[in-house]
Amino acid sequence: MSDPLRERQLVRETLDRAAEAAQRYLADIDADRVRRPGADAAAAALNRAFPEHGDGALAAIEELVRASDGALRASGPRFFHWVIGGDTPAALAADWLTSVWDQNAAAYDSTPIG
């Protein structure tokens, strides 16, 4: 059982692992298929009851990385459906920062950044 409040020392290692997985994903995005073989099996691995108590930040990221074959390659040039977001360096970095800052963008009063 892992307490997220006691895992602050794992922030760098956890973010490094996520960044490594993201770089590997983006390195192949131009040639990759939108839907990879085995996508259903990868997605199905997440269709289960999760434990009452977590296994920790690194374990959660590793499980998500293992299941990433189930994700549509929506950020690549072969995906012609919806406009979901962006995978430009600025968009990715800004998204990461907004997640870290954890601001409520719906209300100006909730943050001095406004």
Give the per-residue pLDDT at 10.
86
Output the pLDDT for position 72: 74
User: Is 42 among the domain residues?
Assistant: yes
Tens-digit pLDDT profile for the chain (114 aa)?
Answer: 567 677 888 889 999 999 999 888 888 888 888 788 888 888 888 888 877 888 888 988 998 888 888 777 777 666 666 666 566 777 788 888 878 877 766 766 666 665
| The pLDDT of residue 76 | 66
> Is residue 93 situated within a structural domain?
no
> Has residue 16 been placed in a domain?
yes
Range of the domain at 60: 4-85
- For residue 114, tell me if it sits in a domain: no
Residue 51 maps to a domain: yes
pLDDT for residue 16? 93
- CA 82 from centroid of its chain's CA atoms: 19
> For residue 77, what pLDDT is reported?
64
Contacts of 105 (CB under 8 A, 6+ apart): 98
Residue 27 inside a domain? The answer is yes
Q: Is 56 helix (H, G, I), strand (E, B) or coil?
A: coil
What pLDDT does residue 110 have? 67
56: left (phi over 0), alpha (psi -120 to 50) or beta: left
Total count of domains within the chain: 1
Asked whether residue 96 is domain-assigned, the answer is no
- Predicted pLDDT of residue 105: 66
Question: Is 63 part of any domain?
Answer: yes
Q: Among candidates 46, 40, 32, which has minimal Cα distance to 70?
A: 40
